[in-house]
Amino acid sequence: MNRLSRADMMKMFGSRGDQMEHNVVGGCELQNREGVGNGMGSGCRGSSAEGRGERIGSGAPIRYSWTREDLRAIYDLPLPELLFRAQTVHRQYHDPLKVQRSTLLSVKTGGCPENCGYCPQSAHHKTGVDRHPVLPLEFVLEKANEAKEAGSTRFCMGAAWREVKDGPDFDKILELVRGVHGMGLEVCCTLGMLSESQAHRLKEAGCHAYNHNLDTSPEYYGEVISTRTYDDRLRTLQRVRDAGITVCCGGIVGMGETIDDRIGLLLELAKQNPHPESVPLNVLVKVEGTPLAGSDTVDPIEFVRLVATARIAMPRSMVRLSAGRLSMSDELHALCFFAGANSLFAGDKLLTTANPGEDHDVTLMQRLGLSFFEASPREEWSMAAAVG
């Protein structure tokens, strides 16, 4: 791989090698000029005494004009340089010692008419996933309560639909959203394509976030799914945004795509204004019976590079370690957190596949000296702002 040398970087980003055109990775400098930081990127609210009470959220300006070349140059930096820059940006916008947890529940499973090559729930693939219709309210509320008790601040309900259809099923979903919202959890839904009015009705019911992934680059998309287009995805994302629901949008690696496709995905995300509030990064869970089950395994270092590049390109977003954590070592998790990941899916199940589970994650946090958010990050920030 043709990585840039430090000399190349200095040519591209300026003589000090740490100032890009839009000062995206020159945060320490900016903090010093503003008299906030100490030159070590500590303008965040960490757990140290001097860190406590400082405001998170000031730092390098947010940029939407990224080019493929910019992102590739960042991605290809020598790893220590890339990690340093990602951590610097991370500290300007987030508490580097805290990780947010979301819990997933598949509220309608299997039999999906879409042919997504990775998905165990597609009716086009024979995977042995047990199908069920929309789950009853009491059951979902019980699961949401368990998730809350276990420390999750967000509850994400997924349905194996191509699109939402108005009628009894959507009415049931609205009831679920109202119920979970009423429990004080942030509600996220992922239900497939939405119309404008459905997005508004979800918002009214208390839906805080909508997950709708672009999955990969526009160029590679057709290799993975042929029953819908990239533009279909973008249209739903716009409707979500217009309805005032926050956007959770990311993708999957390990589907046979090139590094340039991964950069292409990040570019599509980072061009959005505003950036998606959450960026889930999934490593393909290879499910027997899906067309992509035989894909090559992702190089862990390449995954760390992706996380770091996402952090630098979208400084404010929550970058979420999503599917595929069972195949990641603790050391890889640690590197991902250092690279700017600050959220994960908790519990022993994703939608239909397995996940590391609470005990593992709690032990991991202890070993790394990290802790979980107890309220949603947005609530903790506003509490800190009120105190500070």
Tell me how many residues contact ligand DTB (CB under 6 A).
17
Catalytic residue of the set 28, 44, 112, 336: 112
112 binds ligand SF4 (CB under 6 A): yes
Residue 121 in contact with ligand SF4, rule: CB under 6 A: yes
Which CB sits closer to ligand DTB, 107 or 370?
107
Candidate residues 87, 152, 246, 352; the one interacting with ligand DTB per rule CB under 6 A: 352
Residue 213 or 246 having the CB closest to ligand SAM:
213
Residue of 87, 109, 213, 376 interacting with ligand SAM (CB under 6 A): 213
Among 82, 97, 253, 323, binds ligand DTB (CB under 6 A): 323
> According to CB under 6 A, which one of 76, 215, 257, 361 is a site residue for ligand SAM?
215
SS (H, E, C) the chain: CCCCCHHHHHHHHCCCCCCCCCCCCCHHHHHHHCCCCCCCCCCCCCCCCCCCCCCCCCCCCCCCCCCHHHHHHHHCCCHHHHHHHHHHHHHHHCCCCEEEEEEEEEEEECCECCCCCCCCCECCCCCCCCCECCCCHHHHHHHHHHHHHCCCCEEEEEECCCECCCCHHHHHHHHHHHHHHHCCCEEEEECCECCHHHHHHHHHHCEEEEECCCECCHHHHHHHCCCCCHHHHHHHHHHHHHCCCEEECCEEECCCCCHHHHHHHHHHHHCCCCCCCEEEEEECCCCCCCCCCCCCCCCHHHHHHHHHHHHHHCCCCEEEECCCHHHCCHHHHHHHHHCCCCEEEECCECCCCECCCHHHHHHHHHHHCCEECCCCHHHHHHHHHHHC
Has 248 been annotated as catalytic? yes
Residue 114 found at the interface with ligand SF4 (CB under 6 A): yes
Q: Considering only residues 187-206, where is the footprint of ligand SF4 by CB under 6 A?
A: 192
378 binds, among ligand SAM, ligand DTB, ligand SF4, none (CB under 5 to 8 A by kind): none
If one asks whether residue 285 binds ligand SF4 (CB under 6 A), the answer comes out as no
336, interface contact from ligand DTB, ligand SAM, ligand SF4, none, CB < 5-8 Å by kind: none
> Which amino acid does the sequence have at 264?
G
Would you call 112 a catalytic residue per the annotation?
Answer: yes
Interface residue with ligand SF4 among 31, 88, 92, 122 (CB under 6 A) is 122
- Which one, 25 or 285, has the nearer CB to ligand DTB? 285
The binding site for ligand DTB (CB under 6 A) comprises 104, 120, 156, 158, 190, 211, 213, 250, 280, 282, 285, 322-323, 350-353
The binding site for ligand SF4 (CB under 6 A) comprises 112, 114, 116, 119, 121-122, 160, 162, 192
Residues labelled catalytic? 112, 116, 119, 156, 188, 248, 320
